[in-house]
Amino acid sequence: MRIEGVPASAGYAEGPLFDLGRPAGIYASKASSAEEKAALEASIDKAVKRLVAMVETADSDAAGILEFHIAMLEDDALSGPAFTSIASGKPADAAWRQALDAEIAGYEASDQDYFRARATDLRDIRDQVLRALTEDGGRTAPAGAILCGEDIAPTRFLEIDWSHGGGIALRAGSTASHVAMLARSRGVPMVVGLREPLAAVAGTALLDAEHGAIVLAPSPAEIGSFRRSSSAFAARQGDAETFLARPAATKRGTAVRVQVNIADPRDVDAIDIATCDGVGLMRTEFLFGKTLPDEETQYRAYRKVLEWAGEKPVTIRTVDAGGDKPVPGFTVEEGNPFLGLRGIRLSLARLDIFRVQIRALLRAAPHGNLKVMFPMIATPEEYERAAALFAEQHAALAARDIAQRMPPLGIMVEVPSVAIAPEAFAGVAFLSIGSNDLTQYVMAAARDNAAVAHLNSVSHPAVLRLIGSVASFGRENGIPVSLCGDAGGDPAAIASLLEAGLRDLSVAPAQLAMAKAAIADVPV
Amino acid sequence: MSATAEATVLITHDVGLHARPSVKFTKLAKSFAADVEIALAANGPWFDAKSIVKVMAAKAPKGTVLHIRANGDGADDAIRALIELVQRDFDEDAGHVRSA
């Protein structure tokens, strides 16, 4: 039986299923409160040691979380109430659970989102010690297992030795979750959003996290076809790595620029600048997560990436809030958000917020090779208004003698009006095709709606024809054209994009090697 | 040598004295012999600055004026070091708020 889901980390795994929801072992009470006390002390110690071992191999994000857990566990103020209950006769597991539940309730009662969210960490801390107390081996997944269930906690992911293979299949979960990020960086295959529950979790299963599916009780034919796909994937990956360090070129030697898309300044810490031609898209929505960022915060974020890239270009997109990316205090509630006040429309409606971002960009510009682009442009007037605001803020900063530079200003090509009639934009410095939005608007298929996902294909002739005509317009008028949507990193779409005339793609960092390898196969 | 010192500092970090900053704050406090306490108001309640559980329980958001007091050996040094840590935004980079 095959159950479809959404790929969160590409790869293949074949192995025994392991139920993440399997109940923990049962705690065996001890004979005296002295033994209960010793059992709790030993279990806290065991949990700390495991976390310390995990920190050694964790990246900085994961290490930050783990170090917080360690500090909490090492603090006597956390365990104090549990030891008091043990002294009065309670068993260690119940005493610990009661003490931690009281602490968790305190966080849950907070009126601040941030502190309320820490209740999850406290639950994780509670369960790590309970697990150590009830250790019986029953909760440890066998090597190479496919872990399945509703969701998985980051620490659970980090405790597992993935060197023997294995994978993750979740009913819930998200491709944007912390675990999905970790899975991609370690190459652990992961599928989320399985459409049906895994009825009987037992036996061997096949996890296809390249396309997003799990096959239960596979037939010999299914196993054969799975293994062929799996080895083809491994071969492609192995080959791809050898392309990473070289500049990309097609089969005929035509040079293709390959840049990266980043969503957070910290993303660049894991990328070697020598492997790419710059940043084709730096999103700025990350800054607008919970509160509106001040100028200094933005300036520091932009400057970090510009300094990392050195002479290579960094194309920063002004905030593209709205649509499927609401920001409290900024975006508006709308019946049809993808067709509403989003991208440049929202920025031009909220000039107070836009001007802050413009100033931060102007001030960051001298620190590297900055280019700025506007999202969701539909008419030349929008571009002209945005450019005029840059000129206005440039003059204001100059009057105050503040270091700054005017960057080249370009636009995203994602609204069909621009792709159909690009001649209205002959004055822009560059064009960057946002293939995700362009496709959803051309096909009238929302990209967050799984029911119409089959329509959302960049390879549809209508979409490719528009991309081709934008590429020719750019060539004829000396305006650089690039593409920064997911299609740029999709090996299946790359040939069509190059055939349509594009020579500049921007892809997710994880797809860099595969994209370069796919380019080398294209005969243009 | 024993001494008492007290000072205040404004928390400018985006989400306040949260998990990662608290780890740094308590680690630094523990490096001093003096007793160190924090409060969100001059009249308390006071929390042990060497306990991350207590520091987190203070739930100090951005914009809080943090009161710090120390008593014992190196009290002045402890206060100075902790104030500087808060003023440096706990040595964290910008942009820790990630959108979904």
- Range picked from A205-214, A371-380, A437-446, B25-34 for highest mean pLDDT: A371-380
- Minimal CA–CA distance to A155: which of A123, A184, A133? A123
- Is the pLDDT confidence value at A497 over 60? yes
Alpha-carbon distance of A283 to A314, in angstroms, equals 11
Alpha-carbon distance of A49 to A47, in angstroms, equals 5
Which residues of B are known to be catalytic? 18
Considering CB atoms only, which of B15, B27, B53 is closest to A114? B15
- Range picked from A115-119, A148-152, A470-474 for highest mean pLDDT: A470-474
User: By a Cβ cutoff of 8 Å, what residues of chain A touch chain B?
Assistant: 64-65, 67-68, 71-72, 75-78, 103, 106, 110, 112, 114-115, 118, 121, 176, 263-266, 285-291, 293, 296-298, 300-301, 304, 325, 327
User: Would you tell me which residues 68-87 of chain B have a C-beta closer than 8 angstroms to some C-beta of chain A?
Assistant: none
Structure tokens at A449: 């709606």
Q: A259-269 pLDDT, tens per residue? A: 999 888 888 88
> What value does the mean pLDDT take over residues A220-225?
93
Q: A72-118 pLDDT, tens per residue? A: 999 999 999 999 999 998 889 999 999 999 999 988 888 877 778 78
Closest CA in chain B for residue A177:
B100
Structure tokens at A107: 């966080």
Predicted local confidence at residue A354, as pLDDT: 97
Predicted local confidence at residue B98, as pLDDT: 34
- Is the pLDDT confidence value at A26 over 80? no
Considering CB atoms only, which of B20, B52, B99 is closest to A286? B99
For chain A, give the mean pLDDT: 89
Query: Kindly report the CA angle at B27 between B24 and B29, in degrees rounded to 5?
Result: 105
> What value does the mean pLDDT take over residues B41-67?
88
Contacts 24+ apart (CB under 8 A), A235-243: A236/A491, A236/A514, A236/A517, A237/A513, A237/A514, A239/A517, A240/A513, A240/A514, A240/A516, A240/A517, A241/A513, A243/A513, A243/A516, A243/A517, A243/A520
Considering CB atoms only, which of B53, B93, B99 is closest to A77? B53
B51 reaches A (C-beta below 8 A): yes
8 A C-beta contact, residue A423 and residue A413: no
- Cβ-defined contact of B94 to A265 (cutoff 8 Å): yes
| Coil, helix or strand at residue B73 | coil
8 A C-beta contact, residue A148 and residue A141: no
Alpha-carbon distance of A284 to A289, in angstroms, equals 10
- Cβ-defined contact of A300 to B48 (cutoff 8 Å): no
Q: How confident is the model at residue B44 (pLDDT cuts 50, 70, 90)?
A: confident
Other residues' Cβ atoms within 10 Å of the Cβ of residue A49? 12
| Coil, helix or strand at residue A29 | coil
Residue B51 DSSP code: -
- Is the pLDDT confidence value at A185 over 80? no
Contacts of B16 in chain A (CB under 8 A): 112, 114
Structure tokens at A409: 């200003």
- Is the pLDDT confidence value at A23 over 50? yes
Which residues of A are known to be catalytic? 178, 484
Predicted local confidence at residue B69, as pLDDT: 92
Considering CB atoms only, which of B19, B57, B59 is closest to A68? B19
- Minimal CA–CA distance to A337: which of A353, A350, A321? A321
Q: How far apart are the first and last CA of chain B?
A: 52
Predicted local confidence at residue A523, as pLDDT: 94
A308 — phi, psi (to 5°)?
Answer: -60, -40
Q: How far apart are the first and last CA of chain A?
A: 41
- Is the pLDDT confidence value at A279 over 90? yes
CB pairs under 8 A between A and B: 90
- Cβ-defined contact of A266 to B20 (cutoff 8 Å): no
Strand partners, A411: A374, A431
Q: How confident is the model at residue A198 (pLDDT cuts 50, 70, 90)?
A: confident
Predicted local confidence at residue B1, as pLDDT: 46
User: Would you tell me which residues 9-48 of chain B have a C-beta closer than 8 angstroms to some C-beta of chain A?
Assistant: 14-16, 18-20, 22-23, 26-27, 48
Chain A: closest CA distance from residue B27 (Å): 9
